[in-house]
Every structure is written in C-alpha cells, then in structure tokens.
Amino acid sequence: MTAGFVRVALDHPLSALYDYRYPASAPAPTPGMLVRVPFGRRDVVGLVREVSTNSDVAADKLRDVSAVCAACPPLSQQWLSLAAFAAAYYQRGLGEVALPALPQALRDPSRWERLLAPEERYRLLPAGRAALPEALPARAQALRRLAQALAETGALDLADAKALHPKAVPTLENWREAGWVEYERVEFGSAPGAATSNDESNNASNNVDVAQVPTLSDEQTAAVESIVAARGFAPFLLHGVTGSGKTEVYLRALAALLEREPDAQALVLVPEINLTPQFEAAFRTRFAATLADDAIVTLHSGLAEGERARNWLAAHVGRARIVLGTRLAVLASLPRLAMLVVDEEHDPAYKQQEGLRYSARDLAVWRAKQLDVPVVLGSATPSLESWWQAEQGRYTRLTLSRRAVADAVLPAIRLIDLEDERRRGRASFEGLSGPLVAAMKARLERGEQSLVFLNRRGYAPVLSCDACGWVAGCPRCSAYVVLHKPERALRCHHCGWESRIPRSCPDCGNVDIAPMGRGTQRIEEALTSAVPGARVLRIDADSTRRKGSAQALFSDVHAGDVDILVGTQMIAKGHDFQRVSLVGVLNADNALFSHDFRASERLFAQLMQVSGRAGRSGLPGEVMVQTRYPRHALYHALARHDYVGFANAQLSERRDAHLPPFVYQALLRAEGRTLEAALAFLGEAAQALAAIPAAERVSVYDAVPLTIVKVMNVHRAQLLVESQSRAALQATLRAWQPMLRTLRGVLRWNLEVDPLDI
C-alpha cells in the first residue's frame, strides 16, 4: 500500500507549507489536525492544511509524521479560513498565526495524552463559600491557599489542588462531607454541563439565586430588539455613555440568542484581564438558571496553562456556550459561534504589538462576516474608524444617551487652571491643587469615595541633579529610568534594567539629587498627607503583579474599604464603582502636543472613560481636570460630554490631512546594532518598492528613528508606507516581503499593517 502526504503549517516566518509522509496503514490525517513532525534536529507541532496522494518533494527528502494529536478534534474549515485570512492580511505565515493561537498544552506533544483523560475536580458550593473563610485556622496557610484558589476559580482539578496542598484530596473529601464542595468527573468532549457527582447534591449553579433583572430603558430596549432581530451579518456600533447599561444590552441579546438557538456559542471580548472577573460574575449570575458553570469560560494569558487548555477545548468541542476573553480569544475555535461582542472596542489593547500584529476588533468583524452572524461593538468613545463606518452606513449605530440608573446623571466636569492657581498664590500639595484636595476632603466627610487618575506609574519619571544637570538614564535604552521609591530602585520601563538609588550624583558628587515629576507612588504618598485620615489605595501595574491581586484590590474598593483610589489606566474603564462621586485627573496635558496623530483621540477617550467612574449609582458626580490649557478645544468638548462633536471635528482634520481612516497604512520597523544600519536597511527597502507595479499607488515616507531610538542596546527606525487603496497596499506588501528577506545588515525587521503607534 502506498503512503499518503500532508502539507503542514509550522510556526515559522516563511509562509510555505511543508510536505510529510504518513503510512497507509495509519489513520489518515485530515485538514485541521495537529501533528508532531521532525523539523531540522527537533520535533515540532504542526497544523495539517492539506492532504494529498502525491508530493512534489523528492522521496528521499520526505520525512514521516511522528504522531497525530487525537486529544484535539480537527479544527474546522472556517477556523482555518480565519487563520489564513489573518496571515494574508497581516503579512505573516499561516503557522505563525494558527499555532500561537492554540494553548501551550496543545503545542507540547508530551501533554497530548493527558488532555484525553477525564477531568476530576472539586467545585465550591455556596455553603462552602460562606463557611470556609471562618472555618480555617489563621496559621493554616496551605489550607487558605487551597480555599482561596477555589473561591477565585469556582472549581479546582486534582492536579492543581495537589500542587497547592500535599494532602489536598483528603482535605477536599472532608469539605465534601461537610457540604462545602462537590466532586465532579467530566469526560472529554461531553455535552455542556455533563458531570457526574459522587453524591446527590445538585449542581452548584442551580443553587444560585438569580439576581433581580433590571428594567430596560426605552433606548436599551430598542438596542436589544435591533440586535435580536438581526439575521445574518449585522455589525452594530453600540454608542452608550458611561453607565448607560451596555453590559445589560449584551446580556439580554445573548439570552435571546441562546433561547432561540440552544446549541449556539457566543464570544465576548474585553480589552484587559482585570475586567474579566466582574464580567464573568455578571454572566454567571444572569445565566445561573439556564447554563451550567462550565458552559461559561474565560480565555486570557493570566490563566494557568492547564486551565487555559481546558477552557479552549471546552469551546472547541462546543461544551462552552459563552467564551469571555481578551484579544487572543478572537482566534479561539468555536464551531457554533452565532454572535460576537467587543466591549470598549476603541481600546488600543485590542491591537497586538508583538509577533502577529493583529487587531482583535477588526478580526471579530471579519469573523462575523465570514460566519454571517451579528457583531456588537460597544463603547462610550468609539474609535474614529468605527465611527466613520457608522457614518457611512456600514455599521448600524445604536445610541444610549442616558445612564441606566434612574437618578444617575453624567458628572459635572470642572477644569482647574493651574496657571491661574499659581498666579493667585494658592497652595498645592505635590501636584494636587487646592480645589481638588478640598473636594476630596468633602467627599471623605460624606462617606463617599474619590478617584485620582494619573497615567504614569512609579514615584517620579526622572531623578536628576540640580548642580550639574545629570539625569538618571538607562544604560541600555535612550530613555530615563523611573524612580520607584518603595523598592528604593531605579527601573527602566522599556527593558526592565534596575539599579539602587545612588546616594549622590555619579557625575559631580552632589548629594542633593531629587525626583522630578510625579507618578502614582508619589501621589499616593502625597494624598496621605493632604487628606488626613483617608484610606488611600494605589492600583497600577506595580501593585498588581501577583496573580489575583488586582481582583482583591478592586474588591476592597467595591466593599467601601477605600476612601481614595489612585491609579493608572487600569482603573479608568469598565469598573462600576458605586460609591465614587469625585474623579481627579492629573498631568493630562502632555498628550495634547504628542507627535502621534492619534494622541488626541486616545486622551479624549481616556478622560471620558475615567470621568464615567463618577456618579454611577445616583450620587452627584464631579470630575476635576487639572490643566494649563483650559481653553483647549478637547477640554471644552469633554466638559460638554460631546463625543459626537469631537469625533466629527477629528474626522474632518484627518480627511484634510489624508490620515486614517481615509488612507491605509503599513509600517516597516528595523532593528540594528547601530542606527545607521537600521536606516540603511530601510533605505534599501524603499528603493526596492520602485520595482513593484502596485507601488505606483503607494506613498513612501523617509525612514526615521523611533522616538525611543534605543532599547536593550538595539537601535530602531521605521519606514511608513500608505495608500488610498487597501487593495493596492496589500498587493505591494505581498510583493515587497520576498525582497525584504534578501536584504541584510539588521538584527531583525517586522512589517505591521494598520499600525496604531507611529
């Protein structure tokens, strides 16, 4: 009997497929299957793209497929088409898209067998959630870690439990006998909610009381009805002010979908991991009576590899009905996907900045069109690209102009003129103006919460010497290092280099070196002095490094254990703070004069989002923005909550300047040992374009260094190309890629389509 052949995509920069042979006696692989194949001196995992009875490769050069992953059913043709589109549009190899989108466990052949084994786990019951914190001794740290893991995830499999506690199984059995947990055994590929328990207790989700469903406003009702009535591909832009109940619209639309199509799946994307806990809680509460706990799963990089693999497989075999995740989840396999939701669709976090530089929002829209299903893009401040699509009638715009809570109104926005404060000689507290401090004290007396937003972490962005002008810089990057006072360290936020704070100036010996500027650590310190008695909490990337720490800190805020919350963009969006009535914004002016043409759009969205944290539960809300430019048009639009006016003005400027969304762009970046090498490479790349016919409709700009030109001792430069025709730009990039691979002289280069940071 003759052998058959498969063409396999590998995680490799080249777009070519690689031919392998499989014996006729073996079960025939099918497109979409994962296989282990030899590549060079090692075995790697590949994705079967085609199966054939012949190969153009010489027989003596063909190698055999080593193994087939039976644990993972083949990926569907629709999913393969999605990966192929992303690879073609973003100018990458198919394997570079498909394989990194899979959980690490599927890319490791040594773990394939374990994925087939039934999952044995213990699920936390409501009685246990209430009793365990009080029942455990304070010094039983291992037991408390086990209980905390149960509380955070809702269920633990045996492997994870044993890693947390050496006697996990007998402990969990004792808790089961007490009625605090239940044992489940889930067969791979079983139907949603299929689990066998070794007692007669009901599934935990059936014991959860369904919360009172809020009454919809007329605008919410109209939005839900429009989405539910859609058949086929229907892109909706849900433009709702902060606190207008966009999440409730998602919930109602998904409930109607799942009732109409019992086997349907839905994908809900959020921009950041720290937003998933509150979304997951809302979804589990709403669907507790109709869906099993394991029918709702999350997918993001913060999950343990085993948990991520199980959740991905649950979606892949159809057991998971609702998948909630960050940008990578847009590439998850959902065979019965019937609706997509992209919350905070404007957020830059949806754009991947390494490897495959894709936009999850754009891929979500393309995937909805491919599957002929609705997609909902929600935001209080839509991206100008999405707003323009709605203006052109390509998206259906749904508007929520009022807050969902009956007596909740948008906060009043007050601009504090810092120059006027200085001229009048009014006191300030380390960057906190007198009016802002007085407002926070008033909130403290009333038992309300305040939020201070500063999008710069660390203690101070610069440490300098007044005597000689020395400034602490990173030895590996062309950037200043940031002072982190609690850790007594100087840290580079670009490469991670770190050193102790010097006792004196390294250049002149002056001991009077001082920080310049302010970060969240310094503002946190200032607040404890400026507002005596206030409980101050800081939430930023430094305070939330441990797994679960962000969720714990946000829980403290929601519980009322915090009077003043200070933080970066982590606190600016999506969070429903019921007691916050005051928001203070510091150091927003820098973005007004950025070289990036998108800086104003991002600043306006950021300020609108953080302003929306105030006054959500009916308390009168106020936002105080400290600025030296109170007459700037952006701040005037912000004070009127006038996103429509701001967006239309920005679109008019971009149309006149021939900027996106009126042109299409791609960015070629080069990294070299010297800046001259990087610029020389880009110069040769620009010359190569002249030989491409489609490039006649493409404009090429001069190669320039990046703003932060050196990172980790590597010099960086960029070359921008753009066209008014997306097709012409794509054709040019396809012809350009082989030419770029022939050029030498740099360490690496990458090509980004639709760049956000230029």
Same domain, 346 and 241: yes
Task: Output the pLDDT for position 191.
Answer: 42
DSSP collapsed to 3 states, 77-140: HHHHHHHHHHHHHCCCCHHHHHCCCCCHHHHCHHHHHHHHCCEEEEEECHHHHHHHHHHCCCCC
Same domain, 161 and 241: no
Task: Output the pLDDT for position 128.
Answer: 81
Examine residue 212 and state whether it is found in any structural domain, yes or no: no
Same domain, 670 and 619: no
Examine residue 192 and state whether it is found in any structural domain, yes or no: no
Task: Output the pLDDT for position 188.
Answer: 55
The amino acid present at 596, given as its one-letter code, is D
**Mean pLDDT, rounded, for 140-145:** 79
Task: Output the pLDDT for position 385.
Answer: 97
Examine residue 12 and state whether it is found in any structural domain, yes or no: yes
Examine residue 368 and state whether it is found in any structural domain, yes or no: yes
36's enclosing H/E stretch is: strand 34-39
Of the two residues 119 and 56, the one the predictor is more confident about is: 56
Same domain, 628 and 548: yes
For the stretch 706-720, pLDDT in tens is 999 999 999 999 999
The vertex-50 CA angle with 47 and 51, nearest 5°, equals 115
Task: Output the pLDDT for position 186.
Answer: 66
Same domain, 268 and 354: yes
For the stretch 606-628, pLDDT in tens is 999 999 898 887 789 999 999 99
**Mean pLDDT, rounded, for 638-651:** 96
pLDDT at 201 over 70: no
**CATH number for the domain that contains residue 20:** 3.40.1440.60
pLDDT at 733 over 60: yes
**CATH number for the domain that contains residue 346:** 3.40.50.300
β partners of residue 350: none
Same domain, 45 and 95: yes
For the stretch 360-404, pLDDT in tens is 999 999 999 999 999 999 999 999 999 999 999 999 999 999 988
Greatest mean pLDDT among 103-112, 460-469, 573-582: 460-469
For the stretch 202-234, pLDDT in tens is 333 333 344 478 899 999 999 999 999 999 999
Q: Take residue 84 and report the two structure tokens written for it.
A: 């192929």
pLDDT at 60 over 90: no
Task: Output the pLDDT for position 2.
Answer: 56
For the stretch 406-462, pLDDT in tens is 777 899 999 999 999 888 887 778 889 999 999 999 999 999 999 999 988 898 999
- Which ranges of 541-698 does DSSP label H, i.e. alpha helix? 549-558, 599-611, 633-639, 643-657, 675-688
Examine residue 200 and state whether it is found in any structural domain, yes or no: no
Same domain, 64 and 17: yes
**CATH number for the domain that contains residue 715:** 3.30.70.260
Q: Take residue 302 and report the two structure tokens written for it.
A: 């913060």
Percentage of the chain modeled with pLDDT above 90: 62
Same domain, 622 and 685: no
DSSP collapsed to 3 states, 420-450: HHHHCCCCEECCEEHHHHHHHHHHHHHCCEE
Task: Output the pLDDT for position 594.
Answer: 85
Q: Take residue 478 and report the two structure tokens written for it.
A: 């062309």
Residues with Cβ within 8 Å of 202's Cβ and at least 6 positions away in sequence, in order, are none
Examine residue 206 and state whether it is found in any structural domain, yes or no: no
Would you mind telling me the total number of residues written for the chain in this entry? 758
pLDDT at 163 over 80: no
For the stretch 282-310, pLDDT in tens is 999 999 888 887 799 999 988 878 788 88
User: Which of 85, 110, 135 delimits the end of a domain?
Assistant: 110
In this prediction the pTM is 0.88
Task: Output the pLDDT for position 208.
Answer: 39
pLDDT at 500 over 80: yes
User: Sign (positive/negative) of CA torsion 262, 265, 270, 276?
Assistant: positive
Task: Output the pLDDT for position 116.
Answer: 66
For the stretch 254-279, pLDDT in tens is 999 999 998 999 999 999 988 888 89
Same domain, 449 and 338: no
pLDDT at 505 over 60: yes
Same domain, 123 and 84: no
List the domain range (segments joined by +) for residue 701: 664-753
Examine residue 202 and state whether it is found in any structural domain, yes or no: no
Same domain, 538 and 433: yes
User: Which of 140, 165, 186 delimits the end of a domain?
Assistant: 186
Q: Take residue 465 and report the two structure tokens written for it.
A: 């010497």
Same domain, 85 and 55: yes
Q: Which residue has the tokens 């430094």?
A: 542
Give me the number of domains the chain comprises.
Answer: 5
**Mean pLDDT, rounded, for 591-614:** 91
Task: Output the pLDDT for position 393.
Answer: 96
Distances from the Cα of 8 to the Cαs of 66, 70, 128, 135, in angstroms?
A: 13, 16, 49, 55
Task: Output the pLDDT for position 93.
Answer: 92
**Which DSSP state fits 474?**
-
Task: Output the pLDDT for position 205.
Answer: 37
Q: Please tell me the distance from the alpha carbon of residue 428 to that of residue 446, in angstroms, as a whole number.
A: 23
User: Which of 163, 186, 209 delimits the end of a domain?
Assistant: 186
Examine residue 256 and state whether it is found in any structural domain, yes or no: yes
CA atoms within 13 A on the CB side of 442: 12
